[in-house]
Amino acid sequence: MARGEVWRLITPIFLHFSLMHILFNMLSLSSFGNLLEKKFGSGWFLAVVLTSALASNLTQYLWAGAPNFGGMSGVVYALFGYTWARGHTDPWAGFRLPANSVFTMLLWLVVCMTGTVGPIANAAHVGGLVMGGLWGLIPWLRRRILGQW
């Protein structure tokens, strides 16, 4: 990235290091992605995926200091974060996640941080979760600041 290789901020989402890694990521992406893309359209979905990839990959790079990571997990955590935040701040929008789904995603985040499942790009997960949560708060902030409902 220091040499102008800015594509490295996006391309890790296309790299996976095992069959289970890509299967888990694609199943999760499909679960959250289908719901959100149908609701908001492909353009919005692409914007969320790209900004989430940038945020999660940049967070991981800054944390680890090395570009040797990959996976769609940061984006998946962003989509989860969006759905979770939006469900709490805009319950009539239909994004309420079951408590066991929230528990599972957060438990997996913590389990990965323990190191017991191998080397994981934990900072990417957290960066994606934060970026998705921020996306999910935009409608609430708009209503609070502009008084729009």
**88: annotated active-site residue:** no
Q: What mean pLDDT comes out for the span 4-11?
A: 80
Which of 28, 52, 56, 73 is catalytic? The answer is: 73
**How far, in Å, CA of 73 to CA of 31, rounded?**
13
d(CA 132, CA 78): 4
Residue 108: its pLDDT value, please? 93
Summarize the confidence of residues 64-75 as an average pLDDT.
87
Establish whether 73 is a catalytic residue: yes
- 51 vs 93: which has the higher pLDDT: 51
- Global pTM reads 0.90
> Which domains are present in the chain?
17-146 (1.20.1540.10)
- Which residue of the set 16, 52, 56, 125 is catalytic? 125
Provide the pLDDT for residue 73. Answer: 94
Is the distance from CB of 83 to CB of 71 less than 8 angstroms? no
Location of structure tokens 């997990």: 73
The answer to whether residues 51 and 128 touch, using CB atoms and an 8 Å cutoff, is: no
pLDDT tens for 74-127 read 999 999 999 999 999 988 888 888 899 999 999 999 999 998 988 889 999 999
CB crowding 70-108: b at 16 or more within 10 Å, else e? bbbbbbbbbbbbbbbbbbebbeeeebebeeeeeeebeeb
Distances, alpha carbon 79 to alpha carbons 3, 17, 28, 56, 119, in Å: 30, 21, 9, 12, 22
* pLDDT at residue 1 is higher than 60: no
Residue 149 has pLDDT above 70, yes or no: no
Model pLDDT, residue 79: 97
